[in-house]
Amino acid sequence: MSGLPVGVTIAEGLPWQRLRIVTPLGIRFRDIALEGPITTGLVVLVKARESYGPPVPLTANPSGVFGFHGLPGLHDVEYPGFPEPAFPSPPSSQPFVVMVADRLSRFLPAVFGVELPPPAIPSPPTFDADPDPAPLLDAFLFTAPTRPVTCGLAAIRADLWDIETEQPAAHARVRVTVGDRSRVGVADDRGRLLVLVPWPLLEQLRLGSPPGAAQLPPFEHAWPVSLEVWYRPGLPRPFEPQAVLPEPWTFVPGLKGILEHPDRAFIWPVPAGPPVLTWTGDITYDHELIVRTGTVSELWISRGASPP
């Protein structure tokens, strides 16, 4: 061939190896308060539901997506090979348990189950090096009481106490509304609750002509607050009754049970009652609100309408 250096020839080559790799699932964790992705500080482990072996750590890509790789029983799903059948049969799904914790103590540890590969996606997308094309699951993490409160967020705290069992109302689900904004929180294993809600301040400051005219200074603004509780003691753990998960997940109920059970709890604004389903109050800008039962340090809740 003309134009080539001396001793150089061009010929059609053959591929040495063709490798098809499938990521069964990717999980992106989100902050329940800010609704954005969490890209730092998380520890994520996964193990087969029927296995008593050690969990497998997952790593995140630069986008904060944790890809499922190298899990027991999924080799044929991850490496389906060539050629692909014209009409491939959907692979059978296997149950796995996902565990997540935060090294920075901003979020509560959580445990939940997934089916791999996801039954709704019989043929997951393939990729060469980047796990982003995998089926993606968004999972929200809930604020821990040890999380620092940053600017722009209203902080509502409570120590939930079950007056029927005389124990902390561990893992109770709480919905807090500040003005027109709502967020959901979960109490930790000691009944401690912190719910962070974005302040509705910016909407109010846009009012008037020009915007912000005749408005009170920010520190004089107050908004109505409502609080509702859902509580069921003794929620099941993923491996009940065996405690086979490591700390801090050993006694954490499954996230599905915490978020989906329908049991409303009564709230006691004062020890003498009567109990209510919705606690109401006010919060002033740039001040934390601690919800209590009267002068008691805890917020009393019960599953019945009368004290024990």
- Per the prediction, the chain carries an average pLDDT of 81
Which position has the token pair 């902050």?
31
How far is the CA of 235 from the CAs of 97, 238, 243, 252, in angstroms? 16, 10, 14, 9
Measured at the alpha carbon of residue 81, what is the angle toward residues 78 and 86, in degrees to the nearest 5? 110
For the 153-302 domain, the top CATH level (class) is: mainly beta
110-116 and 56-57 beta bridge pairing: unpaired
* pLDDT of the residue at 244: 64
pLDDT tens digits for range 227-242: 999 999 988 877 665 5
Q: How far is the C-alpha of 185 from the C-alpha of 104, rounded, in Å?
A: 18
End-to-end CA gap in the chain: 96
Q: How far is the C-alpha of 183 from the C-alpha of 153, rounded, in Å?
A: 11
Assign 125 a pLDDT band (cuts: 50, 70, 90). very low
pTM of structure = 0.80
Reading the block at residue 133, the tokens are 């094309």
* pLDDT of the residue at 28: 92
Assign 143 a pLDDT band (cuts: 50, 70, 90). very high
pLDDT tens digits for range 182-218: 999 999 999 999 999 999 865 555 556 665 555 666 6
Assign 123 a pLDDT band (cuts: 50, 70, 90). very low
Pair 53, 47: CB distance under 8 Å:
yes
With 90 as the cut, is the pLDDT of residue 245 above it? no
Q: How far is the C-alpha of 58 from the C-alpha of 257, rounded, in Å?
A: 24
Under DSSP, is residue 205 helix (H, G, I), strand (E, B) or coil? helix
Assign 144 a pLDDT band (cuts: 50, 70, 90). very high
Which position has the token pair 């008593």?
52
* pLDDT of the residue at 173: 97
299-302 and 153-162 beta bridge pairing: parallel
Pair 94, 74: CB distance under 8 Å:
yes
pLDDT tens digits for range 43-83: 999 888 777 778 889 989 888 899 887 776 665 666 666 55
Chain centroid to Cα 44, Å, comes to 12
Domain locations in the chain as residue ranges: 21-141, 153-302
Q: 21-141 and 153-302: same fold?
A: yes
φ/ψ of 228, rounded to 5, equals -125, 150
* pLDDT of the residue at 25: 75
pLDDT tens digits for range 283-305: 999 899 999 999 999 999 998 65
Torsion angle of the four alpha carbons 131, 142, 248, 163, in this order, in degrees rounded to the nearest 10: -160
CATH for 21-141 is 2.60.40
From 116, 216, 125, 231, select the one nearest 173 (Cα to Cα). 231
